[in-house]
A and B are shown apart, each in its own frame.
Chain A
Amino acid sequence: MSIARLPRVAGLLALLLAACALPLMLSNFRLFQFSQVYIYAIAILGLNMLTGYNGQFSLGHGAFYAIGAYVSAIMMDRWNISYGWTIPVAGVLCLIVGFLFGLPALRLEGLYLALATFSLALAVPQILKYFEHWTGGSQGIVLSKPNAPFGLPLNPDQWLYFVTLSVLVLLFWLGANLLRGRVGRAIVAIRDNHIAAEAMGVNTALYKSLVFGVSAAYTGVAGALSACVIAYVAPDSFNVFLSVTLLIGSVIGGLASISGAVFGALFIQFVPNWAQDISKAAPWAIFGVFLIGFMYLMPFGIAGAIRLLWIRATRSRVQQKERSVVPSQAHTTT
């Protein structure tokens, strides 16, 4: 068993090493972009838990991203609280808000939930502007980037890069454990067959609200990190297109997948950059075309396609294995 997992663990370690080496090779701006990728990846993983694994639509996760960002920004700006504290606070707050939002959402069938969350996404900038006293209105809040602690020889962008990378690793590790375990199976069971899950003794109401909360918490943490990394928050950056962007990342990476969140994040971070050269409007046109194209051709996203290729490539080997395994398995399962 552990031997079978060895290549995977080795691969992940190699990736992590490569990620740690990036600051040596890239300019501050590129590094900033990669920080942004990690932030998106965290948010998308949150969305994947909800939509991909649990089957609840959210077209308004930008709202939780906004809450996370503003909680962090207001704490730093108003109360001079260190950014390090604001991130968990943003996460916990979004957990609570998400859980509370999830309670009524339980009663909404898929499409109505999509509708409610989409409307939420549309309303967010207005709400942010309304509470001007806290949020600085349309001007937003300008922050300063933190310096590296303990006199580490890193500039702020490099330091923030490592912060986001660590948060990413921590949250992905937690998320993977959650989704691959018993809880994860219950979450998926609810998506696939609500009634059967209930019959098996899964408290679907509680699980669904909790998933909503956890999902919102991930996205909120991502929002808080983005406030730190960009050092600026303004209402119009949290419009409905942010929610749609996250969704696009989720779909393109692969809805019900953990690694897919990273692919999706890379996509939504870098594709618009290339497309921007064509026209200001081009990124969105390309996003739209990709979104529709993926729905037609690769509904399981990049991660799904890779998995399929992997299965095909290893099919012959697996089949051989299966043949030798079947008799003994039959023995153990009966």
Chain B
Amino acid sequence: MDILIQQVVSGLATGGIYASLALALVMIYQATDVVNFAQGELAMFATYICWSLINAGLPYWVAFLSTLAIAFVGGVVIERVVIRPVENAPILSIVMVTLGLLVICNSVAGWIWTYLQKPFPSPFSANPIKVGNVVFGAHDLGEIEVTMLVLLCIYLFFRFTPLGLAMRAAAHNPVSSRLVGIRVGWMLALGWGLAAVFGAVAGMMVAPVLTLEPNLMGGVQIYAFAAATLGGFTSPGGAVLGGFIVGVVENLVGTYVSFIGTELKFTVALAMIIVVLLVRPTGLFGTTVVKRV
């Protein structure tokens, strides 16, 4: 029982990471009908930036927040410069461009920071926290707090600010949005910026666990896909919940189903994606939307 609780909590911790990245994917999907295959790599890149800032002597949280700011600007710039020229192109072209971004980020990171694994600091104490007989990793709990805080902020932003409202409007109905004076292109760019921020959070939270290297996010991204698919690509809340479910399931399956262990983790995620797509393509909370033709 104690082990179960421990595993659930640590599943929630990784789940939070998947949730952040899944939310990033869903935000861009809602606005543009496109999955950003480079989302994970952008996150990895941001994590390297944080690493460099910390190495340059900045305190952790200063580096953390600076990275978020840099990621935001980076996301906005990428949308304006790289994605915008193919905005109205067929979906295949946009997917290709995001794949191009993926390989560029990956290789440039390797170029600048080499392919060697780098330890990445955790801002939380290394001592486990004991409650009764159950031992929680401090990093796990901290991760959960940070992702919860980020998710809360973003919820408040979209729910209660005029800009958040305009972004939602632009994502759902670009034509009408223009007619009320919303600069839809910029809203998309802001969306990319915010998505990059969530990705960066995910990257910085997962890096202490996995150690930093250019392929840091490959596995996280497949789980984020699974999370977004499970929750529904049209439902941000669903994607977040999907992230937590996937994190917990992954951990429990890894612990209790012996033949899977940790070696088939990706395969589990792949299987989840395919099963969800076949059984309920819109995910648990998604709705079918009329696709552009």
Contacts and interface: CB of A to CB of B under 8 A. Distances in A.
Nearest to A247: B99
B214 to A, nearest CB: 8
A53 B283 CA distance: 29
A292 B81 CA distance: 11
Contacts of B107: 281-285, 288
A287 interface: yes
Given A104-B274, A119-B273, A129-B263, A281 B111 contact: yes
B92 A123 contact: no
Nearest to A126: B266
Interface string A202-240: 000000000000000000000000000000000000001
Interface in A120-134: 120, 122-123, 126-127, 129-130
B263 A289 contact: no
Given A112-B277, A289-B104, A299-B89, A281 B110 contact: yes
Contacts of B219: 122
A115 interface: yes
A115 B233 CA distance: 11
Interface band, chain A: 35 or more
Nearest to A255: B92
A187 to B, nearest CB: 16
A116 B274 contact: yes
Contacts of B34: 111
Residue from A118, A130, A283 with most neighbouring chain B CB atoms (10 Å): A118
B80 to A, nearest CB: 14
A38 interface: no
Interface SS of chain A:
helix
B273 A115 contact: yes
Contacts of A110: 91-92
A5 B91 CA distance: 36
A1 B113 CA distance: 60
A104 B218 CA distance: 25
A288 B266 contact: no
7 contacts: A107-B281, A111-B91, A115-B273, A241-B103, A244-B102, A290-B100, A296-B85
Given A104-B278, A119-B222, A119-B226, 17 more contacts: A57-B92, A107-B277, A107-B281, A112-B281, A116-B273, A118-B225, A119-B266, A122-B218, A247-B96, A282-B107, A288-B100, A288-B102, A292-B100, A295-B93, A296-B85, A299-B89, A299-B93
Interface of A: 51, 57, 59, 104, 107-112, 114-116, 118-120, 122-123, 126-127, 129-130, 240-241, 244, 247, 251, 255, 279-285, 287-292, 295-296, 299
* 8 tightest Cβ-Cβ pairs between the two chains A and B: A284-B107, A288-B104, A291-B100, A281-B111, A292-B100, A123-B266, A281-B107, A288-B103
